[in-house]
Amino acid sequence: MAIALRKPQEIEKLRAANKIVGGALELLRANTKVGMSLKELDAMAEDYVRSHGAKPSFKGLYGFPNAVCTSLNQVIIHGIPSNYKLQEGDVIGFDIGTELDGWFGDAAISMGVGEISAEDAALIACSKDALYHAIDNIKQGMRFKELSFILQEFIKDAGYVPLRDFCGHGIGKKPHEEPQIPNYLDGKAKAGPKIKNGMVFCLEPMICQKDSKPIILENKWDVVSADGLRGSHYEHTVAVINGKAEILSLA
């Protein structure tokens, strides 16, 4: 399937959907405190999205029951909100999608609750820094596999490994479009489709400490590493404009 090239006015519609995602994530960041339950935070973000005229696009997507993926401690991605109340030292990831006028937004953050360990702070920093490093290196004409290699090497150089079998993706009139963008390289970097002006896609480094093998828990959603250790996840939607990447999912 071809990778869509978006016109400037289409990119602005995607920016509008993504700006709501960014605002919801900032709201969650400000309200993530000891004693808040995951369901309370999920409801808060859903209210924010709807109050801005958008729909929470994850709700019902592939059967997911909530507006926000709340991934706690060992859960790296796709955590289902529960009545669990946050505790000092927890690590929590929030992943939010929106639909506004038929266009989709998607982004994620990981953060600590109260005081966290230096090890957890470094783990969170790896996913965030890998994301921004990759975005800074995007150029028209490079291949998506080169981008996967950049992500992989940054993560490995930081002492971690990327979660396998899950990846970044195109986004537009659907929440998930071509191409798939793993955080690791399979095959040769100088192969596959090239990045072009007008492409819009999500990059989302998912970090494991020792083992990149994913395990899906009994609820069929929560994804953890086979090492049983904490992970982290960061994501932005970007558009390629004038030869480089511009982040759309900022508040």
Going across the sheet that includes 161-162, the strands are: 161-162, 206-208, 232-233
Q: State both tokens at 98.
A: 């929106």
Within a domain: residue 206?
yes
- For residue 208, pLDDT over 70 is answered with yes
Within a domain: residue 157?
yes
| pLDDT tens-digit map of 48-93 | 999 999 999 999 999 999 999 999 999 999 999 999 999 999 999 9
State the number of CA atoms in the 13 A half-sphere of 147 facing the CB. 31
Within a domain: residue 52?
yes
| pLDDT tens-digit map of 140-180 | 999 999 999 999 999 999 999 999 999 999 999 999 999 99
Within a domain: residue 101?
yes
Residues 178, 181: Cα–Cα separation, whole Å: 9
Within a domain: residue 212?
yes
Q: Is pTM, for the whole model, over 0.95?
A: yes
Residues 126, 70: Cα–Cα separation, whole Å: 19
Within a domain: residue 2?
no
- For residue 239, pLDDT over 90 is answered with yes
Residues 30, 3: Cα–Cα separation, whole Å: 36
Burial code (b: 16+ CB inside 10 Å, e: under 16) for 114-152 equals eebeeebeebbebbbbbbeebbeebebeebbbbbbbbbb
Rounded percentage of the chain residues whose pLDDT exceeds 90 = 99
Task: Please tell me the predicted confidence (pLDDT) of residue 39.
Answer: 98
Within a domain: residue 164?
yes
Within a domain: residue 3?
no
Nearest to 195 by CA among 149, 250, 241: 241
Task: Please tell me the predicted confidence (pLDDT) of residue 1.
Answer: 66
Parent domain of 32: 8-247
Q: Number of structural domains, the chain?
A: 1
Q: Where residue 108 sits, what CATH number does that domain have?
A: 3.90.230.10
Going across the sheet that includes 244-247, the strands are: 177-182, 167-170, 200-203, 236-241, 244-247
Place of tokens 């400037």: 8
| pLDDT tens-digit map of 179-195 | 999 999 999 999 999 99
User: Cβ of 219: how many Cβ atoms within 10 Å?
Assistant: 11
Q: State both tokens at 70.
A: 């709340």
| pLDDT tens-digit map of 89-98 | 999 999 999 9
Residues 181, 147: Cα–Cα separation, whole Å: 8
